[in-house]
Amino acid sequence: MSKQQNENLEKAFAGVADNYRGQDVDLNAIYREMRKNSPIIAEDFMSQQGVPNIAGLDANRLTFTLFKHKDVMAVLRDAKNFTSGFIAEGLGAFFDGLILTGMDGEEHKKARALLQPVFMPDVVNTWRDTKMDPIVRNEFLIPLQKEGKADLMDFALYFPIRLIYSLIGFPEDDHDKVKQVAAWSLAILAGPQVTPEKAAEARKAAMEAAKCLYDAVKEAVVEARKNGAKGGDLISRLIRAEYEGRQLDDHEITTFVRSLLPAAGETTTRTFGSLMTLLLERPALLERVRADRSLVGKAIDEAVRLEPVATFKVRQAAQDLEIRGMQIPKGAMVQCIVASANRDEEVFEDSEEYIIERKVKPSFGFGFGPHMCIGQFIAKTEMVVALNAILDLFPNIRLDPDMPKPKIEGAQLRGPHEVHVVWDQH
Ligand code: HEM
Protein backbone atom coordinates (compact mmCIF):
# COMPACT_ATOMS: atom_id res chain seq x y z
CA MET A 1 0.00 0.00 0.00
CA SER A 2 1.25 3.52 -0.69
CA LYS A 3 1.91 6.14 1.97
CA GLN A 4 -0.76 8.34 0.42
CA GLN A 5 -3.39 5.62 0.74
CA ASN A 6 -2.41 5.02 4.35
CA GLU A 7 -2.80 8.70 5.11
CA ASN A 8 -6.16 8.80 3.37
CA LEU A 9 -7.40 5.94 5.49
CA GLU A 10 -6.19 7.49 8.72
CA LYS A 11 -7.65 10.87 7.79
CA ALA A 12 -11.00 9.27 7.06
CA PHE A 13 -10.97 7.50 10.43
CA ALA A 14 -10.04 10.70 12.30
CA GLY A 15 -12.90 12.46 10.48
CA VAL A 16 -15.39 9.91 11.73
CA ALA A 17 -14.00 10.01 15.26
CA ASP A 18 -14.18 13.83 15.34
CA ASN A 19 -17.63 13.82 14.04
CA TYR A 20 -19.11 11.57 16.68
CA ARG A 21 -17.04 12.54 19.69
CA GLY A 22 -19.48 14.94 21.34
CA GLN A 23 -18.40 16.85 24.43
CA ASP A 24 -15.87 15.49 26.88
CA VAL A 25 -18.12 14.83 29.85
CA ASP A 26 -18.53 11.81 32.13
CA LEU A 27 -21.48 10.35 30.34
CA ASN A 28 -21.69 7.30 32.57
CA ALA A 29 -22.20 9.54 35.61
CA ILE A 30 -24.97 11.37 33.73
CA TYR A 31 -26.61 8.08 32.73
CA ARG A 32 -26.52 6.84 36.33
CA GLU A 33 -28.28 9.98 37.44
CA MET A 34 -30.85 9.78 34.63
CA ARG A 35 -31.68 6.13 35.36
CA LYS A 36 -32.32 7.10 38.95
CA ASN A 37 -34.16 10.39 38.63
CA SER A 38 -35.24 11.03 35.02
CA PRO A 39 -35.54 7.72 33.14
CA ILE A 40 -37.43 9.46 30.32
CA ILE A 41 -37.02 13.07 29.21
CA ALA A 42 -38.81 15.04 26.49
CA GLU A 43 -35.47 16.17 25.02
CA ASP A 44 -32.93 15.15 22.41
CA PHE A 45 -30.13 14.09 24.76
CA MET A 46 -27.54 13.27 22.09
CA SER A 47 -27.91 16.60 20.23
CA GLN A 48 -27.24 18.29 23.56
CA GLN A 49 -23.97 16.34 23.69
CA GLY A 50 -23.01 17.73 20.27
CA VAL A 51 -23.62 14.49 18.40
CA PRO A 52 -24.83 15.04 14.83
CA ASN A 53 -28.15 13.65 13.86
CA ILE A 54 -27.30 10.68 11.69
CA ALA A 55 -30.84 10.44 10.42
CA GLY A 56 -30.48 13.89 8.86
CA LEU A 57 -33.68 15.02 10.50
CA ASP A 58 -34.79 18.52 11.19
CA ALA A 59 -33.32 19.20 14.62
CA ASN A 60 -36.58 20.56 15.96
CA ARG A 61 -38.51 17.33 15.65
CA LEU A 62 -39.97 16.36 19.03
CA THR A 63 -37.63 13.83 20.66
CA PHE A 64 -37.86 11.74 23.82
CA THR A 65 -34.86 10.02 25.39
CA LEU A 66 -34.95 6.75 27.35
CA PHE A 67 -32.28 5.54 29.79
CA LYS A 68 -33.63 2.32 31.38
CA HIS A 69 -33.04 -1.26 30.19
CA LYS A 70 -36.73 -2.17 30.36
CA ASP A 71 -37.86 0.79 28.26
CA VAL A 72 -35.10 0.44 25.66
CA MET A 73 -35.92 -3.24 25.27
CA ALA A 74 -39.64 -2.54 24.92
CA VAL A 75 -39.03 0.00 22.16
CA LEU A 76 -36.44 -1.96 20.17
CA ARG A 77 -38.48 -5.16 20.20
CA ASP A 78 -41.70 -3.42 19.08
CA ALA A 79 -40.95 -2.50 15.48
CA LYS A 80 -44.64 -2.04 14.74
CA ASN A 81 -45.10 0.92 17.05
CA PHE A 82 -41.51 2.17 16.86
CA THR A 83 -40.38 2.31 13.26
CA SER A 84 -37.06 2.81 11.45
CA GLY A 85 -38.16 4.09 8.03
CA PHE A 86 -37.04 7.63 8.86
CA ILE A 87 -33.41 6.46 8.77
CA ALA A 88 -33.71 6.36 4.99
CA GLU A 89 -34.34 10.12 5.08
CA GLY A 90 -30.80 10.71 6.35
CA LEU A 91 -28.57 7.79 5.50
CA GLY A 92 -30.86 6.94 2.64
CA ALA A 93 -29.65 9.98 0.77
CA PHE A 94 -26.35 8.15 0.35
CA PHE A 95 -28.00 4.93 -0.73
CA ASP A 96 -30.89 3.53 -2.56
CA GLY A 97 -31.82 -0.12 -2.89
CA LEU A 98 -31.72 -2.73 -0.15
CA ILE A 99 -30.87 -0.94 3.11
CA LEU A 100 -32.20 -3.07 5.97
CA THR A 101 -31.69 -0.59 8.73
CA GLY A 102 -34.26 1.84 7.29
CA MET A 103 -36.91 -0.75 6.37
CA ASP A 104 -40.07 -1.60 8.30
CA GLY A 105 -42.83 -4.20 8.58
CA GLU A 106 -43.32 -7.03 6.11
CA GLU A 107 -40.78 -5.61 3.69
CA HIS A 108 -38.07 -5.76 6.35
CA LYS A 109 -39.17 -9.19 7.59
CA LYS A 110 -38.99 -10.71 4.12
CA ALA A 111 -35.64 -9.15 3.33
CA ARG A 112 -34.20 -10.42 6.63
CA ALA A 113 -35.56 -13.90 5.98
CA LEU A 114 -33.82 -13.95 2.61
CA LEU A 115 -30.50 -12.59 3.86
CA GLN A 116 -30.24 -14.16 7.31
CA PRO A 117 -29.02 -17.65 6.32
CA VAL A 118 -25.89 -16.16 4.74
CA PHE A 119 -24.92 -14.67 8.12
CA MET A 120 -25.53 -17.69 10.36
CA PRO A 121 -22.73 -19.40 12.34
CA ASP A 122 -22.51 -22.45 10.03
CA VAL A 123 -21.49 -20.15 7.16
CA VAL A 124 -19.39 -17.77 9.25
CA ASN A 125 -17.42 -20.69 10.73
CA THR A 126 -16.32 -21.77 7.25
CA TRP A 127 -14.93 -18.27 6.74
CA ARG A 128 -13.16 -18.33 10.11
CA ASP A 129 -10.70 -21.03 9.15
CA THR A 130 -10.34 -20.37 5.44
CA LYS A 131 -10.15 -16.57 5.46
CA MET A 132 -10.30 -14.78 8.80
CA ASP A 133 -7.64 -16.65 10.74
CA PRO A 134 -5.01 -16.84 7.97
CA ILE A 135 -5.47 -13.18 6.99
CA VAL A 136 -5.25 -11.88 10.56
CA ARG A 137 -2.14 -13.92 11.31
CA ASN A 138 -0.24 -13.83 8.03
CA GLU A 139 -1.02 -10.33 6.80
CA PHE A 140 -1.13 -8.45 10.09
CA LEU A 141 0.22 -10.02 13.25
CA ILE A 142 3.10 -12.27 12.20
CA PRO A 143 4.81 -9.40 10.31
CA LEU A 144 4.34 -7.25 13.44
CA GLN A 145 5.81 -9.77 15.90
CA LYS A 146 9.41 -8.61 15.52
CA GLU A 147 8.52 -4.99 16.33
CA GLY A 148 7.87 -5.78 20.00
CA LYS A 149 5.39 -2.93 20.25
CA ALA A 150 2.44 -1.43 18.42
CA ASP A 151 -0.58 0.81 18.59
CA LEU A 152 -3.26 -1.86 18.33
CA MET A 153 -5.64 0.67 16.77
CA ASP A 154 -3.51 0.59 13.60
CA PHE A 155 -4.40 -3.09 13.34
CA ALA A 156 -7.99 -2.58 14.56
CA LEU A 157 -8.64 0.14 12.00
CA TYR A 158 -7.76 -2.05 9.12
CA PHE A 159 -8.45 -5.72 9.80
CA PRO A 160 -12.31 -5.64 9.87
CA ILE A 161 -12.48 -3.93 6.48
CA ARG A 162 -9.82 -6.29 5.12
CA LEU A 163 -11.84 -9.29 6.33
CA ILE A 164 -15.21 -8.10 5.08
CA TYR A 165 -13.53 -7.28 1.78
CA SER A 166 -12.38 -10.87 1.59
CA LEU A 167 -15.74 -12.36 2.65
CA ILE A 168 -17.55 -10.28 0.05
CA GLY A 169 -15.50 -11.97 -2.63
CA PHE A 170 -13.41 -9.10 -4.00
CA PRO A 171 -10.16 -10.05 -5.77
CA GLU A 172 -7.65 -11.10 -3.12
CA ASP A 173 -4.49 -9.98 -4.86
CA ASP A 174 -5.35 -6.29 -5.24
CA HIS A 175 -3.96 -4.66 -2.07
CA ASP A 176 -4.48 -1.09 -3.24
CA LYS A 177 -8.12 -1.84 -3.76
CA VAL A 178 -8.50 -3.02 -0.15
CA LYS A 179 -7.21 0.33 1.12
CA GLN A 180 -9.33 2.26 -1.31
CA VAL A 181 -12.48 0.36 -0.31
CA ALA A 182 -11.71 1.02 3.38
CA ALA A 183 -11.29 4.78 2.82
CA TRP A 184 -14.56 4.97 0.85
CA SER A 185 -16.43 3.12 3.59
CA LEU A 186 -15.24 5.54 6.25
CA ALA A 187 -16.00 8.57 4.08
CA ILE A 188 -19.65 7.48 4.00
CA LEU A 189 -19.82 7.44 7.80
CA ALA A 190 -18.42 10.96 8.01
CA GLY A 191 -21.46 12.16 6.01
CA PRO A 192 -23.78 13.72 8.60
CA GLN A 193 -22.17 16.70 10.35
CA VAL A 194 -23.12 19.35 12.88
CA THR A 195 -22.03 22.58 11.14
CA PRO A 196 -23.41 23.48 7.70
CA GLU A 197 -19.96 24.08 6.14
CA LYS A 198 -18.60 20.76 7.35
CA ALA A 199 -21.86 19.11 6.33
CA ALA A 200 -21.66 20.30 2.71
CA GLU A 201 -18.07 19.18 2.32
CA ALA A 202 -18.48 15.81 4.03
CA ARG A 203 -21.69 15.12 2.20
CA LYS A 204 -20.04 15.65 -1.15
CA ALA A 205 -17.18 13.31 -0.22
CA ALA A 206 -19.66 10.74 1.09
CA MET A 207 -21.72 10.82 -2.10
CA GLU A 208 -18.61 10.35 -4.22
CA ALA A 209 -17.40 7.49 -2.03
CA ALA A 210 -20.83 5.81 -2.19
CA LYS A 211 -20.76 6.02 -5.97
CA CYS A 212 -17.24 4.59 -6.22
CA LEU A 213 -18.14 1.77 -3.86
CA TYR A 214 -21.25 1.02 -5.87
CA ASP A 215 -19.22 0.62 -9.05
CA ALA A 216 -16.62 -1.58 -7.36
CA VAL A 217 -19.22 -3.90 -5.79
CA LYS A 218 -21.37 -4.02 -8.93
CA GLU A 219 -18.40 -5.17 -10.98
CA ALA A 220 -17.82 -8.03 -8.53
CA VAL A 221 -21.52 -9.00 -8.55
CA VAL A 222 -21.71 -9.07 -12.36
CA GLU A 223 -18.53 -11.13 -12.48
CA ALA A 224 -19.78 -13.64 -9.89
CA ARG A 225 -23.11 -14.07 -11.68
CA LYS A 226 -21.32 -14.56 -15.00
CA ASN A 227 -19.26 -17.34 -13.42
CA GLY A 228 -22.32 -19.17 -12.09
CA ALA A 229 -22.13 -17.85 -8.49
CA LYS A 230 -20.91 -21.18 -7.16
CA GLY A 231 -18.47 -19.81 -4.58
CA GLY A 232 -18.66 -19.68 -0.79
CA ASP A 233 -18.22 -15.87 -0.74
CA LEU A 234 -20.93 -13.48 0.34
CA ILE A 235 -21.82 -12.20 -3.12
CA SER A 236 -22.19 -15.70 -4.58
CA ARG A 237 -24.31 -16.77 -1.60
CA LEU A 238 -26.52 -13.69 -1.99
CA ILE A 239 -27.00 -14.44 -5.68
CA ARG A 240 -28.17 -17.96 -4.76
CA ALA A 241 -30.32 -16.87 -1.77
CA GLU A 242 -34.07 -17.31 -2.12
CA TYR A 243 -37.13 -16.71 0.05
CA GLU A 244 -40.71 -17.52 -1.00
CA GLY A 245 -39.50 -17.84 -4.58
CA ARG A 246 -37.90 -14.41 -4.62
CA GLN A 247 -34.25 -13.76 -5.41
CA LEU A 248 -32.18 -10.60 -5.38
CA ASP A 249 -31.22 -8.66 -8.50
CA ASP A 250 -27.76 -7.16 -9.08
CA HIS A 251 -28.76 -3.70 -7.89
CA GLU A 252 -30.18 -5.06 -4.61
CA ILE A 253 -27.10 -7.17 -3.94
CA THR A 254 -24.81 -4.28 -4.77
CA THR A 255 -26.58 -1.79 -2.50
CA PHE A 256 -26.85 -4.33 0.34
CA VAL A 257 -23.20 -5.36 0.13
CA ARG A 258 -22.15 -1.74 -0.08
CA SER A 259 -24.10 -1.00 3.10
CA LEU A 260 -22.14 -3.74 4.87
CA LEU A 261 -18.81 -2.01 4.44
CA PRO A 262 -19.48 0.98 6.68
CA ALA A 263 -21.67 -1.21 8.96
CA ALA A 264 -18.91 -3.77 9.46
CA GLY A 265 -15.77 -1.66 9.55
CA GLU A 266 -15.77 1.04 12.14
CA THR A 267 -18.08 -0.77 14.55
CA THR A 268 -15.71 -3.72 14.82
CA THR A 269 -12.65 -1.45 14.94
CA ARG A 270 -13.89 0.41 17.97
CA THR A 271 -15.37 -2.62 19.71
CA PHE A 272 -12.08 -4.45 19.36
CA GLY A 273 -10.24 -1.38 20.70
CA SER A 274 -12.51 -1.26 23.75
CA LEU A 275 -12.17 -5.02 24.29
CA MET A 276 -8.37 -4.81 24.27
CA THR A 277 -8.42 -1.75 26.54
CA LEU A 278 -10.64 -3.48 29.09
CA LEU A 279 -8.43 -6.58 29.10
CA LEU A 280 -5.07 -4.78 29.10
CA GLU A 281 -6.20 -2.64 32.02
CA ARG A 282 -6.68 -5.94 33.92
CA PRO A 283 -3.48 -7.99 33.43
CA ALA A 284 -4.59 -10.83 35.73
CA LEU A 285 -7.81 -11.23 33.77
CA LEU A 286 -5.94 -11.11 30.47
CA GLU A 287 -3.70 -13.90 31.77
CA ARG A 288 -6.75 -15.98 32.69
CA VAL A 289 -8.17 -15.52 29.20
CA ARG A 290 -4.84 -16.47 27.66
CA ALA A 291 -4.79 -19.68 29.70
CA ASP A 292 -8.45 -20.55 29.11
CA ARG A 293 -9.61 -19.63 25.63
CA SER A 294 -13.22 -20.61 26.37
CA LEU A 295 -13.31 -17.16 28.05
CA VAL A 296 -12.57 -15.28 24.81
CA GLY A 297 -16.22 -15.19 23.68
CA LYS A 298 -17.36 -14.10 27.15
CA ALA A 299 -14.78 -11.31 27.25
CA ILE A 300 -16.17 -10.03 23.93
CA ASP A 301 -19.84 -10.21 24.99
CA GLU A 302 -19.11 -8.35 28.19
CA ALA A 303 -17.13 -5.65 26.35
CA VAL A 304 -20.09 -5.17 24.00
CA ARG A 305 -22.37 -4.78 27.04
CA LEU A 306 -20.18 -2.42 29.04
CA GLU A 307 -18.87 -0.30 26.17
CA PRO A 308 -21.30 -0.54 23.25
CA VAL A 309 -19.84 1.24 20.26
CA ALA A 310 -23.25 2.36 19.01
CA THR A 311 -24.33 4.14 22.17
CA PHE A 312 -27.89 4.90 21.15
CA LYS A 313 -30.62 3.88 18.69
CA VAL A 314 -33.48 6.04 17.48
CA ARG A 315 -37.00 5.01 16.51
CA GLN A 316 -40.12 6.94 15.49
CA ALA A 317 -43.54 6.56 17.15
CA ALA A 318 -45.99 5.14 14.59
CA GLN A 319 -48.97 6.29 16.68
CA ASP A 320 -49.75 8.12 19.90
CA LEU A 321 -48.11 6.11 22.70
CA GLU A 322 -47.28 6.31 26.37
CA ILE A 323 -44.04 5.42 28.17
CA ARG A 324 -43.77 5.77 31.96
CA GLY A 325 -46.82 8.01 31.97
CA MET A 326 -45.36 10.38 29.38
CA GLN A 327 -47.39 10.96 26.21
CA ILE A 328 -45.42 10.27 23.01
CA PRO A 329 -47.29 11.73 20.04
CA LYS A 330 -47.29 9.97 16.67
CA GLY A 331 -44.26 11.04 14.63
CA ALA A 332 -42.08 11.86 17.66
CA MET A 333 -38.56 10.43 17.83
CA VAL A 334 -37.59 8.05 20.63
CA GLN A 335 -33.91 7.96 21.43
CA CYS A 336 -32.85 4.79 23.27
CA ILE A 337 -29.61 5.23 25.19
CA VAL A 338 -28.10 1.77 24.87
CA ALA A 339 -24.96 2.79 26.78
CA SER A 340 -27.16 3.56 29.79
CA ALA A 341 -29.55 0.60 29.44
CA ASN A 342 -26.59 -1.80 29.28
CA ARG A 343 -25.44 -0.55 32.70
CA ASP A 344 -28.84 -0.59 34.37
CA GLU A 345 -28.27 -1.67 37.97
CA GLU A 346 -31.79 -3.09 38.14
CA VAL A 347 -30.74 -5.76 35.62
CA PHE A 348 -26.98 -6.21 36.01
CA GLU A 349 -25.27 -6.68 39.35
CA ASP A 350 -22.21 -4.42 39.71
CA SER A 351 -23.39 -3.07 36.40
CA GLU A 352 -20.45 -0.72 35.79
CA GLU A 353 -17.83 -3.43 36.27
CA TYR A 354 -16.25 -5.58 33.57
CA ILE A 355 -17.15 -9.09 34.75
CA ILE A 356 -16.73 -11.60 31.96
CA GLU A 357 -18.40 -14.49 33.74
CA ARG A 358 -21.58 -12.67 34.65
CA LYS A 359 -24.94 -14.36 34.06
CA VAL A 360 -25.98 -13.85 30.44
CA LYS A 361 -28.88 -11.43 30.04
CA PRO A 362 -29.91 -9.46 26.98
CA SER A 363 -28.09 -6.20 26.38
CA PHE A 364 -28.22 -3.99 23.31
CA GLY A 365 -24.72 -3.49 21.91
CA PHE A 366 -25.76 -5.35 18.75
CA GLY A 367 -29.28 -3.92 18.95
CA PHE A 368 -32.35 -5.95 19.86
CA GLY A 369 -35.51 -7.17 18.16
CA PRO A 370 -36.10 -7.37 14.41
CA HIS A 371 -33.23 -5.05 13.47
CA MET A 372 -30.64 -6.76 15.66
CA CYS A 373 -27.26 -6.78 13.91
CA ILE A 374 -27.31 -9.29 11.07
CA GLY A 375 -23.51 -9.31 11.07
CA GLN A 376 -23.04 -10.09 14.76
CA PHE A 377 -21.62 -13.58 14.21
CA ILE A 378 -19.19 -12.18 11.68
CA ALA A 379 -18.14 -9.41 14.06
CA LYS A 380 -17.78 -11.74 17.02
CA THR A 381 -15.89 -14.35 15.05
CA GLU A 382 -13.51 -11.70 13.71
CA MET A 383 -12.79 -10.56 17.24
CA VAL A 384 -12.40 -14.12 18.54
CA VAL A 385 -9.87 -14.77 15.78
CA ALA A 386 -8.01 -11.51 16.41
CA LEU A 387 -7.83 -11.87 20.19
CA ASN A 388 -6.73 -15.51 20.00
CA ALA A 389 -4.04 -14.66 17.48
CA ILE A 390 -2.76 -11.78 19.62
CA LEU A 391 -2.60 -14.05 22.67
CA ASP A 392 -0.75 -16.71 20.66
CA LEU A 393 1.72 -14.43 18.93
CA PHE A 394 2.48 -11.60 21.39
CA PRO A 395 3.79 -13.16 24.63
CA ASN A 396 3.18 -11.17 27.79
CA ILE A 397 1.39 -8.40 25.89
CA ARG A 398 0.83 -5.37 28.15
CA LEU A 399 0.20 -1.64 27.98
CA ASP A 400 3.26 0.33 26.89
CA PRO A 401 4.49 2.08 30.07
CA ASP A 402 6.09 4.86 27.99
CA MET A 403 2.92 5.83 26.15
CA PRO A 404 -0.39 7.39 27.22
CA LYS A 405 -2.93 4.91 28.57
CA PRO A 406 -5.85 4.12 26.25
CA LYS A 407 -9.08 5.92 27.00
CA ILE A 408 -12.51 4.74 25.88
CA GLU A 409 -14.35 7.91 24.91
CA GLY A 410 -17.02 9.46 22.74
CA ALA A 411 -20.74 10.04 23.07
CA GLN A 412 -21.49 8.06 19.91
CA LEU A 413 -19.25 5.51 18.15
CA ARG A 414 -17.36 5.09 21.39
CA GLY A 415 -13.91 3.56 21.69
CA PRO A 416 -10.22 4.34 22.31
CA HIS A 417 -8.15 6.30 19.79
CA GLU A 418 -4.86 4.61 20.67
CA VAL A 419 -3.96 1.36 22.42
CA HIS A 420 -0.16 1.24 22.78
CA VAL A 421 1.21 -2.16 23.76
CA VAL A 422 4.54 -3.96 24.13
CA TRP A 423 5.29 -7.68 24.23
CA ASP A 424 8.24 -10.00 24.83
CA GLN A 425 10.30 -11.21 21.91
CA HIS A 426 11.77 -14.65 21.68
C1 HEM B 1 -18.77 -5.12 16.68
C2 HEM B 1 -19.28 -4.86 15.52
C3 HEM B 1 -20.70 -4.45 15.27
C4 HEM B 1 -21.58 -3.78 16.07
C5 HEM B 1 -21.33 -3.27 17.48
C6 HEM B 1 -22.82 -3.66 15.34
C7 HEM B 1 -23.96 -3.04 15.84
C8 HEM B 1 -25.19 -3.04 15.19
C9 HEM B 1 -26.41 -2.54 15.77
C10 HEM B 1 -26.53 -1.90 17.15
C11 HEM B 1 -27.40 -2.70 14.87
C12 HEM B 1 -28.89 -2.39 15.06
C13 HEM B 1 -29.33 -1.17 14.30
C14 HEM B 1 -30.77 -0.78 14.64
O15 HEM B 1 -31.36 -1.29 15.59
O16 HEM B 1 -31.29 0.07 13.94
C17 HEM B 1 -26.80 -3.30 13.70
C18 HEM B 1 -27.47 -3.61 12.54
C19 HEM B 1 -26.86 -4.09 11.41
N20 HEM B 1 -25.56 -4.52 11.30
FE21 HEM B 1 -24.15 -4.48 12.74
N22 HEM B 1 -22.67 -4.23 14.12
C23 HEM B 1 -21.40 -4.75 14.03
C24 HEM B 1 -20.85 -5.43 12.98
C25 HEM B 1 -21.51 -5.71 11.81
C26 HEM B 1 -20.97 -6.50 10.74
C27 HEM B 1 -19.63 -7.20 10.76
C28 HEM B 1 -21.91 -6.51 9.74
C29 HEM B 1 -21.90 -7.16 8.40
C30 HEM B 1 -21.07 -8.04 7.97
C31 HEM B 1 -23.04 -5.72 10.21
C32 HEM B 1 -24.18 -5.47 9.48
C33 HEM B 1 -25.35 -4.94 10.00
C34 HEM B 1 -26.58 -4.76 9.24
C35 HEM B 1 -26.79 -5.09 7.77
C36 HEM B 1 -27.53 -4.23 10.12
C37 HEM B 1 -28.97 -3.86 9.82
C38 HEM B 1 -29.91 -4.96 10.28
C39 HEM B 1 -31.37 -4.61 10.16
O40 HEM B 1 -31.72 -3.43 10.21
O41 HEM B 1 -32.19 -5.54 10.02
N42 HEM B 1 -22.77 -5.26 11.47
N43 HEM B 1 -25.45 -3.51 13.93
Give 242-282 pLDDT, tens digit per residue.
999 999 999 999 999 998 988 888 899 999 999 999 999 99
Q: Which protein residue's CA is at the shortest distance from atom 1 of ligand 1?
A: 268
Answer whether 309 contacts ligand 1 (Cβ < 6 A). Answer: yes
Q: Which protein residue's CA is at the shortest distance from atom 22 of ligand 1?
A: 373
Instruction: State the Cα–Cα distance between residues 267 and 227, nearest whole angstrom.
Output: 33
Q: How many percent of the chain have pLDDT more than 70?
A: 89
pLDDT range class, residue 91, cuts 50, 70, 90: low
Instruction: Convert the pLDDT of each residue in 94-111 to its tens digit.
Output: 557 788 999 999 999 999
404 pLDDT higher than 80: yes
pLDDT of residue 24: 61
The predicted model gives 362-366 an average pLDDT of 98
The predicted model gives 200-204 an average pLDDT of 80
Instruction: State the Cα–Cα distance between residues 390 and 282, nearest whole angstrom.
Output: 16
- Of the candidates 112, 108, 57, which has an alpha carbon nearest to the alpha carbon of residue 316? 57
Instruction: Convert the pLDDT of each residue in 320-334 to its tens digit.
Output: 999 999 999 999 999
Better-predicted residue by pLDDT, 87 or 7: 87
How far the first Cα of the chain sits from its last, in Å, is 29
4 pLDDT higher than 70: no
pLDDT of residue 200: 78
pLDDT range class, residue 87, cuts 50, 70, 90: confident
Q: Total structural domains in the chain?
A: 1
Instruction: State the Cα–Cα distance between residues 168 and 380, nearest whole angstrom.
Output: 17
Query: Which of 16-30, 42-56, 282-296 comes out lowest in average pLDDT?
Result: 16-30
pLDDT range class, residue 203, cuts 50, 70, 90: confident
Q: Which protein residue's CA is at the shortest distance from atom 17 of ligand 1?
A: 373
pLDDT of residue 53: 63
List the domain range (segments joined by +) for residue 60. Answer: 3-422
What pTM was computed for the model?
A: 0.92
Instruction: State the Cα–Cα distance between residues 128 and 130, nearest whole angstrom.
Output: 6
Answer whether 371 contacts ligand 1 (Cβ < 6 A). Answer: yes
Q: Give the strand order in the sheet containing 398-399.
A: 149-151, 420-422, 398-399
Average pLDDT value for the chain = 90
Atom of ligand 1 at shortest distance to CA of 309? 5
CA–centroid distance, 376 to ligand 1, in Å, is: 7
pLDDT range class, residue 52, cuts 50, 70, 90: low
CA–centroid distance, 312 to ligand 1, in Å, is: 13
Answer whether 189 contacts ligand 1 (Cβ < 6 A). Answer: no
State how far the alpha carbon of 72 is from the alpha carbons of 249, 324, 358, 369, in Å.
36, 12, 21, 11
Instruction: Convert the pLDDT of each residue in 209-234 to its tens digit.
Output: 889 999 999 999 999 999 999 999 99
CA–centroid distance, 287 to ligand 1, in Å, is: 30
Instruction: State the Cα–Cα distance between residues 140 and 386, nearest whole angstrom.
Output: 10
pLDDT range class, residue 8, cuts 50, 70, 90: low
Instruction: State the Cα–Cα distance between residues 354 and 232, nearest whole angstrom.
Output: 37
Better-predicted residue by pLDDT, 408 or 172: 408
The residues, any chain, with a CB within 8 Å of residue 388's CB and separated by 6 or more, are 293, 296
- Domain of 198, CATH number, reads 1.10.630.10
